[in-house]
Amino acid sequence: MSLAIDLGGKRALVAGVGDDRGFGFAIAKSLVAAGATVSVATWPPLLKLFDLLLTREPIALEAVHPFDADYDRLEDVPAKVREHRRYKDAGDFSIAGLATAVGSVDIVVHSLANGPEVTKPLLSTSRAGYLAAVGTSAYSHVALVQALGPTMRPGGSFVTLSYLAAQRVVAGYGGGMAAAKAALESDVRMLAFEAGRKWGHRVNAISAGPYKSRAAEAIGPIDQLIVSAAERSPLAEPIAAEEVATTAAWLASPLATGITGSVIYVDKGYAAMGLVPG
């Protein structure tokens, strides 16, 4: 009996891919390598840059869909956004529009987060900034399950990406983003129950260690976080995007059909540590 990850015949969507340095792109590559037919969803202002990227680093994608996770339906989008030059030719970039464009899938990966005030301490975060962080980073996952769950084939898999700040203090990870990740993990448990009972789907999260993506660089001292985590981890080295990507492929595969409602740590064991000797 072979235990290789085989996603042949499966259709997958990775939502939140904007460049080749983040977990989303690495996950898309791993799903393709495992045999899945993969589409990605990209923020409309990044579409042209992402298309250019694909000419330099080709990956066999079924489609690249415009997607803004802040809007459930196109009619919810303010006119000034719809008419913006980076949006006006994108078609229906809402969550409902993405669900219609993608159709029935077996695997959905939610790889997106944003907090407009992420560099602010929580004590300085505005209500608008806090709610924006939770809406984009956590509720968008709920909305994707709502929209894609009904047409997903039985035994489908939803995977989202979390971070240790959901459970512990990570100084500098502000603007409500820690609360957003905590909400995301709580939602994973509830969605696993509801989507499992209603449709037979699984819902899990991966909590990855610090990684130098473009998004992480915008937050602050990511290099310091990476070094600190490596010094304190049982496996004293930084994580690689491929380690997160292959975990996502495994979670979506028949090898993990007994796992749902879980947060899987891919962080070299950092989350398990308390006091580090010496």
Active-site positions read 163, 173
CA dist., res. 30 & res. 165, Å (int): 26
Whether 160 contacts 137, CB under 8 Å:
no
What lies within 8 Å, CB to CB, of 277 at 6+ separation is none
CA dist., res. 253 & res. 95, Å (int): 25
Residue with tokens 């993608």: 102
CB atoms within 10 A of CB 269: 15
CA dist., res. 101 & res. 108, Å (int): 14
Outline where DSSP puts E strands in 157-254. Answer: 157-162, 202-208
β-sheet bridge partners, residue 275: none
Among residues 202, 81, 67, 195, the alpha carbon closest in space to that of 140 is found at 67
CA dist., res. 209 & res. 180, Å (int): 17
Whether 205 contacts 240, CB under 8 Å:
no
At 265 the three-state DSSP class reads strand
Give the tokens for residue 66: 């415009």
What lies within 8 Å, CB to CB, of 196 at 6+ separation is 202, 203, 260, 261
